[in-house]
Structure formats: structure tokens, C-alpha cells
């Protein structure tokens, strides 16, 4: 590989953004000037959506209006739910089902057919509707797959609490609702990651918002981007099932050349700030349940890998045990990631097409040259 070739676009700047910034050496994440710690502690997911989409935190009246608009958009057309039902009964992968359903939403979207692809107001409404409907789709798919009927969304619950209600059929307590809301805040945006880049590549062609989000979901489905928290929880369950000391387990795993999920990051060189916050919430959930098993197992593995290998945990390492202790099925962890990150995808689409340029990179050709080949007609081959 030549020195000027940036495989995976590593370090290549392709856009300017006011949405989020990461300092991988300091372990900092900032949304529009606000630290992730402040937002996770003091802002709801709806407030963060408003911040990403409108450039500022809402006042109480703006937030009330915004939340009502989200509530009004939660219902999903019965034809889409029917397709979700078919996918669930066919045991489709949850991310594939979500990708299909989000693409299908466009057939029932009320946006004007003659709207310009750069119409800011239309795109904002479309993005809001998609964001509001994704939790309904995920919850319906999960319940149908598990032999239960979908639960209709409630108008009196916030975004996070309503999802847990639709998923489980009962209103979550304040602690669970708060933890889940915080998890959504933490995952809402993260710079120009792979799925966000997919979204703006699609948007740069002046395609529609549904297509951009569908592209992003397809990208997040890949195990090198999404899915790590599912792998982490399956790993922790393996440790538990083996009835091994977690320190002994991780040493054995490394000796066998296995990769320990939830460690390392393309951007962070130190502990992911989101992992710090979710680690604290995982501990709180364990204390409330009367067992710190999952938290203590995680910290044992973290301490060893930090001391022996210099590896720091990423957000997936602690979101895994947090979700598990909330009773969330392991295989919908990545759809939940999409449910949160759609806010960032939509925001980046809005931002990029304000000063749009078609994203069209080039590849260096290293194949055969015409002087090295001779064309032979079909009947002579």
C-alpha cells in the first residue's frame, strides 16, 4: 500500500460539522459544545434531539411542543406492522427487519411528493417521523417474535419510557426509564462514524431521508460497527456459565488468541467517556437487584486488560450489562443503538446537504493494462 493511500479513509477529512467532536486522547465527547457528561446528567433524549437538529437546547415551551410532535408520530401504518410480523415469524435478523421496515415507511410518509430534496422543513418533519416510529417497529418485532402481540404506544410517556412500555407491556419504573433515556443520550451522535458517513453519502446524491437512514441501518448492521455490545453480553454469559473466575477466563481467552469484545476503539486511545457513565449505571442496577455479579465481572476484566494490555473499554462494554439487567433481549441491542443514533444520522444529513457536494471518492487502479491483455472473441475462447 502506498503512503498516500488512506485505507478505510483513516484520518481523511471529508466535511466540517458543528454537531459533535471527539478527543480520543483525553476521552472527551461533546455535542454542539456541551460535554456528554452534562447532557447525560441533565438532558433527556428529546432535548438532545432538539439540540442536534436545531442547534440549541430547547426552553420548556419548545420542548413541550417538540415532544408532542414526537408522540403524534409514533404510530406505524398497519401495512408496515404486517410486514414486520412476517419478518418476525420468519425469524429474520432484527437489524435486517428494521432496515426493511424503515425503508417501507417511505410509502406511507405524508411528505409532499414534489418537495425539493433540500427542503429543510420537509426533511426535518420526515426525520422526526422516522425517529419516532423506530421504537414502535423494534418493540413490535420483538413481541411478535416472542409470541406476543404489539403494544400500542402511549401518549403520556417520554421516548425512552414509551419504548420500554411497548417492549414489555408494562410501564417501567423511574429508575429504568432514566437509565434507558441516558443510554439513548450517550449513543445519539459520535462524529463521522461509518453509519453516519453512509447516511451522508446517500444524502449527497439528493436522495431522500428514508434512503439515508436505511443506508445507515444497513451499515450499522455490520459486526465491525454495531453489535459489539451483544458480543460483550454473550461473552459475560459464557464466563458465568463456565463458572470460572473472570480473571482466569480472560487470561485463558487471550492465551487462546481470542479477542475480548468491548475493548479498543478507532478514535479513543483512553477509556470511552460513555463507558464511564454506563459503568456507574450498571453498578446501580446491580445494587438495586441485589447482585453485582455482572458489574464486578466486567470491572475485573477491564482492570486486567488495562494493566496488562493497555486496552480501555468502549461504550459497548458497559451498555451490555446495563441493558441485560433491564431485561432487554440481547439480539436487539444493535437495533436500540439505531433507535438512538438515528438522531445523529438525521442531523448530519440536514447539515451536509445545506452545502451539498456529491461524495465521489476515487480508487487507484492496480489491475491489468491493455498492453498486457489480448481480447479473444467468444467463439475462440
> Active-site residue numbers?
265, 316
Whole-angstrom CA distances from 70 to 21, 44, 73, 131, 157 are 27, 13, 5, 8, 11
Measured CA to CA, the distance from residue 233 to residue 334 in angstroms comes to 12
Pick from 24, 10, 19, 17: which is nearest to 312 by CA?
24
Half-sphere exposure (Cβ direction) of 370: Cα atoms closer than 13 Å: 0
Per the CB < 8 A criterion, the answer to whether 219 and 194 are in contact is yes
Measured CA to CA, the distance from residue 64 to residue 275 in angstroms comes to 30
CA-based max dimension of the chain: 78
Helix, coil or strand: residue 4:
coil
Measured CA to CA, the distance from residue 321 to residue 238 in angstroms comes to 13
- The three cell numbers of residue 58 are 430547547
b/e sequence 279-291, b meaning 16+ C-beta within 10 Å: bebbbbbbeeeee
Whole-angstrom CA distances from 178 to 39, 279, 285, 298, 325 are 13, 15, 11, 22, 14
Alpha carbon 75 to its chain's center: 21
Helix, coil or strand: residue 28:
strand
Whose cell is 416510529? That residue is 133
Measured CA to CA, the distance from residue 219 to residue 344 in angstroms comes to 14
Amino acid at each position: 500500500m502506498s503512503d498516500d493511500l488512506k485505507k478505510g479513509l483513516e484520518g481523511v477529512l471529508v466535511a466540517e460539522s458543528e454537531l459533535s467532536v471527539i478527543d480520543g486522547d483525553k476521552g472527551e465527547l461533546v455535542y454542539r459544545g456541551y460535554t456528554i457528561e452534562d447532557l447525560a446528567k441533565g438532558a433527556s433524549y428529546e432535548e438532545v434531539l432538539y439540540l442536534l437538529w436545531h442547534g440549541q437546547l430547547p426552553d420548556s415551551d419548545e420542548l413541550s411542543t417538540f415532544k408532542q410532535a414526537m408522540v403524534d408520530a409514533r404510530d406505524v401504518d398497519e401495512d408496515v406492522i404486517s410486514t414486520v410480523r412476517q419478518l418476525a415469524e420468519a425469524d429474520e435478523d432484527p437489524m435486517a427487519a428494521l432496515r426493511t421496515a424503515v425503508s417501507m415507511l417511505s410509502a406511507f410518509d405524508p411528505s409532499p411528493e414534489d418537495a425539493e430534496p433540500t427542503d429543510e422543513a420537509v426533511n426535518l418533519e420526515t426525520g422526526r417521523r422516522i425517529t419516532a416510529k423506530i421504537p414502535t417497529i423494534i418493540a413490535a418485532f420483538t413481541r411478535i417474535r416472542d409470541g406476543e402481540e404489539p403494544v400500542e404506544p402511549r401518549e403520556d410517556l417520554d421516548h425512552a419510557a414509551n419504548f420500554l412500555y411497548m417492549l414489555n407491556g408494562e410501564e417501567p419504573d423511574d429508575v429504568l426509564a432514566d437509565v434507558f433515556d441516558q443510554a439513548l443520550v450517550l449513543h445519539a451522535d459520535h462524529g463521522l462514524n461509518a453509519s453516519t458517513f453512509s447516511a451522508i453519502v446517500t444524502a449527497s446524491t439528493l436522495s431522500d431521508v428514508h434512503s439515508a437512514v436505511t443506508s445507515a441501518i444497513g451499515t450499522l448492521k455490520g459486526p465491525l460497527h454495531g453489535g459489539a455490545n451483544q458480543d460483550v453480553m454473550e461473552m459475560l454469559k459464557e464466563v458465568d456459565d463456565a463458572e470460572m473466575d473472570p480473571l482466569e477466563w480472560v487470561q485463558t481467552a487471550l492465551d487462546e488468541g481470542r479477542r475480548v469484545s468491548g475493548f479498543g476503539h478507532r478514535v479513543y486511545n483512553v477509556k470511552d467517556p460513555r463507558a464511564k457513565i454506563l459503568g456507574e449505571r450498571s453498578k446501580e442496577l446491580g445494587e438495586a437487584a441485589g447482585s453485582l455479579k455482572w458489574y464486578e465481572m466486567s470491572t475485573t476484566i477491564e482492570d486486567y486488560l488495562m494493566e496488562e494490555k493497555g486496552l480501555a473499554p468502549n461504550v459497548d462494554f458497559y451498555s451490555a450489562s446495563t441493558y441485560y439487567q433491564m431485561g432487554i433481549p440481547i439480539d436487539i441491542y444493535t437495533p436500540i443503538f439505531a433507535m438512538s443514533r438515528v438522531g445523529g444520522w438525521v442531523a448530519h444529513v440536514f447539515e451536509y446537504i445545506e452545502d451539498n457536494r456529491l461524495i465521489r471518492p476515487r480508487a487507484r487502479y492496480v489491475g491489468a493494462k491493455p498492453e498486457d491483455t489480448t481480447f479473444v472473441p467468444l467463439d475462440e475462447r
